[in-house]
Structure 1
Amino acid sequence: MTSLKRHNPAELAPPTGFSHAVSVAASGSRLVFLAGQTALDGAGKVVGATLPEQFETALGNLLGALAAAGGAPGDLARVTVYATDVADYREHAAELGRIWRRLAGRDYPAMAVVGVVRLWDEQALVELDGIAVL
């Protein structure tokens, strides 16, 4: 039997039409599906004017949703990054890597960066979603 549990931590913006994280219990392990996180503060406003500032907040939000599901950065198996400007992402790659290591450590998940025209919140420059195994 498989069971789903939804996790919506109070410190993240209230979700509308999605859950911040969904965990699946099966065969002794749980899969946690993490919804896309942008640079929203707890009030639902996009914060940060630059890609690195927004990336740091979005990653913090993703890790907050994961923690609410009982996970840690090392449990991330897959992260997808959606960027409105891939050239800007590449230009800041070293800085984004430092932010990742500071917040999530050196256990990197499988990752992809996907260029998109825009995100749900027009001011958002980057969004991260992921899958973790607990």
Structure 2
Amino acid sequence: MNLHRHNPAALSPPTGFSHAVTATGTRLVFLAGQTALDGTGAVVGESLPEQFATALANLLAALAAAGGAPHQLARVTVYTTDVEEYRNQSAELGRIWRRLAGRDYPAMAVIGVVRLWDRQALVELDGTAVLP
């Protein structure tokens, strides 16, 4: 399995994402959207960074259960109920990402939404990974 990250000089420099990721491998893992739910199904964390950390940890736990690791993420989509707050907290969110998932960034998008399934949820992450 190989993931190759492509960041052409003609595009703006990526910060916390890759412009394109090509993958060769034998198994795709499609990861369902994860929010800041604990093991009982309750949303935990009041702030966006707290919820982002839990949602990312949940996404990585699902990936690990499928036999994968963070560096095998090819694509992640972030859904947030407040894009402006996400931008304002981007440095902290980046630190959380690097602490939990490292520096092999997948192709990413951030999408603003009116609300998520659980009303208290501020952020949701889903993704695709390529495993050997």
**TM-score range relative to shorter protein:** 0.7 to 0.9
State the Cα distance separating 1:28 from its structure 2 match.
5.8
The residue number in structure 1 matching 2:40 is 43
Distance, in Å, in 1 between the alignment partners of 2:32 and 2:130 is 15
Q: What is the SS of the residue equivalent to 2:51? A: helix
Q: Deviations over 1:53-102 (max 9, x none)?
A: 00000000000000000000000000000000000000000000000000
Note if 1:120 corresponds to 2:107: no
Distance, in Å, in 1 between the alignment partners of 2:111 and 2:40 is 27
Distance, in Å, in 1 between the alignment partners of 2:57 and 2:95 is 14
Note if 1:64 corresponds to 2:61: yes
Note if 1:106 corresponds to 2:91: no
Distance, in Å, in 2 between the alignment partners of 1:28 and 1:42 is 32
User: Which residue type is aligned with residue 71 of structure 1?
Assistant: G
User: Which residue type is aligned with residue 112 of structure 2?
Assistant: G
More contact order relative to length (CA 8 Å, sep ≥ 6): 2
Distance, in Å, in 2 between the alignment partners of 1:28 and 1:79 is 18
Note if 1:81 corresponds to 2:78: yes
Q: What is the SS of the residue equivalent to 1:130? A: strand
User: Which residue type is aligned with residue 48 of structure 1?
Assistant: G
Would the alpha carbon gap of residues 40 and 28 (structure 1) be closer, same or farther in structure 2, given more than 3 Å must change?
Answer: same
Distance, in Å, in 2 between the alignment partners of 1:118 and 1:30 is 32
Correspondence 1:12-31 to 2 at 5 A: 29-31=26-28
Q: What is the SS of the residue equivalent to 2:91? A: helix
The residue number in structure 2 matching 1:131 is 128
TM-score where L is the length of structure 2: 0.81
Give aligned-pair identity as a percent.
81
State the Cα distance separating 1:118 from its structure 2 match.
0.0
Runs of 5+ in structure 2 lacking a partner? Answer: 1-23
Distance, in Å, in 1 between the alignment partners of 2:110 and 2:117 is 17
The residue number in structure 2 matching 1:10 is none
Runs of 4+ with deviation above 6 angstroms: none
User: Which residue type is aligned with residue 123 of structure 2?
Assistant: V
